[in-house]
Chain A
Amino acid sequence: MAIEVDGKSLETDEEGYLVNLDDWVPGVADIMAAEDDLVLGDEHWDIINFLREYYEEYQIAPAVRVLTKAVGKKLGKEKGNSKYLYALFPYGPGKQACRYAGLPKPTGCI
């Protein structure tokens, strides 16, 4: 499978995650979101950028429980709960946001 971003074809796996992490550009998130009938706002981007920074530092995509706790610590308590995160990413903040961020499926996500 592949997605078209900025005129380039980027390879994705059978679940829609980018195969090469280095292929990621912000347009990837916008196009994946459009396929899910979602328009990304600043609040989505806060989470996507947060996930990319987390991956950069730890080399893993965090499990939802860890993401929730870390978001609360970094972006404020009112955002560090699953209600807020699921409202932004209805298919699951771990899976969906990680996919938009160009990361692999979260470790521990079954």
Chain B
Amino acid sequence: MSEDIKKFMYLNRRAPHGTIYAWESLEVVLIGAAFDQDVSLAFFDDGVYQLLKSQDTSGIETKNFSPTYSALGDYDVTKLYVEQESLEERGLTLDDLMDLKWEDEDDDWAEKDSIRLVSRAELTDIIEQQDIVFSF
């Protein structure tokens, strides 16, 4: 089975609301997660806003799907790369983002961080290593 596992990465670079891209990406990730592939997500440019904590969409009458990112761990999606430069350019730090965790079944269900802060150069390398890249 292992030779069939491909590395899938989903790039998220748009703000969460106002267009359907962020929610569509999340739904595709959840559907794709059923196929036991090596899945990771990257957040850069305005995509970093997708992970902001305390989002409130009541004023714009759209679904606040930000709680769904917390379910990714249940779907064995445990690698969320966030680009450091994109955060800095927007005056954000890791503390502004949701505290996303996954539970490691092989380590007595220890809670581990899903968000991995990487530099632009590191993210470029990671994207380079993927078999399949989806851009949203």
Contacts and interface: CB of A to CB of B under 8 A. Distances in A.
B34 A59 contact: no
Interface string B65-84: 10110110011000000000
Contacts of A62: 71, 74
B133 to A, nearest CB: 21
Interface residues of B, number: 14
A63 B34 contact: yes
B131 interface: no
Contacts of A63: 30, 33-34, 75
A58 B67 contact: yes
By secondary structure, the B interface counts as helix
A75 B67 CA distance: 23
A103 B67 CA distance: 16
A60 B30 contact: yes
B74 A69 contact: yes
Nearest to B31: A108
For chain A, the bracket of interface size reads 10 to 19
Interface in A66-110: 66, 69-70, 107-108, 110
Contact of A60 (B34, B64, B71): B71
A66 B68 CA distance: 13
B7 to A, nearest CB: 20
Nearest to B66: A59
B76 to A, nearest CB: 9
B65 A66 contact: no
B30 A57 contact: no
Given A107-B31, A108-B31, A108-B34, 13 more contacts: A57-B67, A58-B67, A58-B70, A58-B71, A59-B67, A60-B30, A60-B71, A63-B30, A63-B34, A69-B74, A107-B30, A108-B30, A110-B31
